Amino acid sequence: MLFPKRLIVWGVLLILSLSQFVLYLPATTCTNSKGLRLCAPQFTITVIGGSSTANEFIASVREFLRLISYLTIDMGWSNEFTDPSVYEDENLVDTFQPDKVFELNYFGFCKRSNKSKVYCTSNENYGMDVLEVLVRDVGIQLGNISTTRSNETKKFGDSLVLTYRLALTSIRDFLKHDKHTGNALSKALIGSPDPNVKGVSPTKNYLKGVNLAFILMMFNGMVFYFAVLEIIVGFLSICVVSAFGGALSVGKRHRLFPMLLKSSSSILVVIATLTILCNIVYLIALKTLEPEEVTDVGSDNAAVHTTGWELLKVNVGSGFIMGLARYAIQWVLLVLAFLAANHYKAKPKKSDKYTEDTSNSPSPDLMEK
């Protein structure tokens, strides 16, 4: 009767460990456009604009992308440049159009338009950095426009992301050093602020935006490696539970496997907690880039801006919800793992206990003294 009871305990632990690992599968979606395009994103974002700085930035980028699209066609990179239809707006780079939705996940992202997925692609080890996703989309679209190199669209995206990273680091260093010289170069490039207009100067706004982009880049790299480590530990947890079940089938009491079971479950919950907290922090950070409509009576200005770069609409995806469900299962697994490990761990032998008691008891000579 003891063996079926042990088998039931092990079966519950195995089902929980398998369930939490299966829920990692949505985290690996949004990476492939071939076949069925599955995507359970952590977040979905849309570029909509909000503050004056963000609107000016988006308008400038849209015009710049239009110019780049025309140059890509006119310089002979496309073999269809004689067809006038290639100059229509729907055939140009449309990354910053408000009808385009990007579904972000740890290992890739999908681009959706009018409820139909345009494509999905891996994002290398850059994680869910919104700006790098937008830059990669620009590179992929430029590769699609240059049809003679249509098979190298991923290379276009990779090279543009690398260029963005190098440019962001250089611009950040430039603005930080220029701050100590009275922003002389920044004023020459961006322009001097109007003394009659109250508010933060354009130089400070751009420096704030560059710093925010740099922090997002570094933070998402850390979140990516946390997610990879969590998946690895989740798989190791299945192996430990399987080994624990094999040990229970041989004998009831053990020393090594209960300790491994408690250790693997504890490490898994710790890493999962860090990943969940990072995702929540990232969601809050993205929400600061989202315009907040406030209806105040008698107020002409209905929008409150916190960063000056409110340009995104952010929503939680199905992958984030599944991550919370997986986290809850991992906590249940942790509690049951500790209960099972404590119940089936080997108790100290009487001989060991007698030896310990003898070593701790004082000798007769000492008692006489």
> Distance (Å, rounded) from C-alpha 322 to C-alpha 307?
31
Helical axes 256-287 vs 318-344, angle rounded to 10°: 160
pLDDT digits (tens, 9 = 90+) for 135-160: 888 888 887 777 555 556 778 788 88
DSSP state of 109: E
Per-residue tokens: 165: 């990273």
Q: Identify the pLDDT of residue 32.
A: 84
Residues 6+ apart with CB under 8 A from 96: 47, 58, 61, 62, 65, 134
What is the SS3 assignment for 92? coil
Tell me the chain's radius of gyration from C-alpha atoms: 29
Query: Which residues, 6 or more positions from 53, have their beta carbon under 8 angstroms from its beta carbon?
Result: 202, 205, 209, 308, 309
**For 228-243, how does the pLDDT look when each residue is reduced to its tens digit (9 = 90+)?**
999 999 999 999 999 8
Burial class (CB in 10 A: 0-12, 13-18, 19+), 79: exposed
The whole-number pLDDT of residue 345 equals: 76
Please list, in sequence order, all residues whose beta carbon lies within 8 angstroms of the beta carbon of residue 289, skipping any fewer than 6 positions away: 130, 307, 309, 310, 311, 312, 314
pLDDT at residue number 167: 87
Q: What is the pLDDT of residue 232?
A: 96
Question: Residues for the chain: how many in total?
Answer: 369
pLDDT at 367 (0 to 100): 46
Cα–Cα–Cα angle for 138, 142, 144, rounded to 5 degrees: 115
pTM above 0.95, yes or no: no
* DSSP-assigned letters across all residues of 161-201: HHHHHHHHHHHHHHHHHHHTTTSHHHHHHH-PPPTTS-S--
> Which residue in 12, 20, 11, 26 sits closest to 234, CA to CA?
20
Across 23-174, the runs of DSSP E, i.e. the strands, are 43-47, 100-104, 108-113, 116-122
CB 18 within 8 A of CB 238: yes
Can you give the pLDDT at residue 93?
76
Ranges under pLDDT 50 in the chain = 1, 78, 81, 294-305, 353-356, 366-367, 369
Q: Which two tokens stand for residue 160?
A: 């543009």
